[in-house]
Structure 1
Amino acid sequence: MEMLTPRSIQCPYCGERIEILVDASAGDQQYIEDCQVCCQPINVSVWIGADEDVHVSVAGEDEA
């Protein structure tokens, strides 16, 4: 499995699609990353599925 995995997400604030790099070597994690377009903080959840696929979920601060 590649350690840095690019993922395309949609900002929960401005709706723009942005690309983030997810570090799959860190396992399941949660962190905040600012949107590259509107600078709002996005809550990012990353988990590794049983099939070893990297899954990403995002939410705004008021949704977390």
Structure 2
Amino acid sequence: MNLKDQSTECPHCGHHIHVILDDSNGDQDYFEDCPACCNAIHIMFHLNESAEKLEFQIQAE
């Protein structure tokens, strides 16, 4: 298991949050609730293996 810690802000309230990403399962697309405002956050990430880069994106839902 290869865990990555990603810092970001909630798109609803701006609260600073940490998201733990497990890139061992490939690309992921899921929802997680903000611990501060409880609104759903759409989390998407893609592991670009050729560039060895994790592409991370969040959206308000």
Task: Say whether the fold is shared (TM-score over 0.5).
Answer: yes
Alignment partners' CA distance in 1, 2:35 and 2:52: 28
Structure 1, unmatched stretches of 5+, are none
4+ residue runs of structure 1 moved beyond 4 angstroms?
Answer: none
* Count of residue pairs the alignment pairs up: 60
Q: Does 1:10 align with 2:9?
A: yes
Q: What's the RMSD between the two structures over aligned residues?
A: 1.3
Residue aligning to 2:54: 54
- Give the % identical residues: 35
Alignment partners' CA distance in 1, 2:2 and 2:19: 13
Residue aligning to 1:33: 32
Between Structure 1 and Structure 2, which shows a larger proportion of strand residues?
2
Q: Secondary structure at the match of 2:21?
A: strand
Taking structure 1 as the reference length, the TM-score comes to 0.84
Residue 38 of structure 1, CA deviation: 0.9
Q: Secondary structure at the match of 1:25?
A: helix
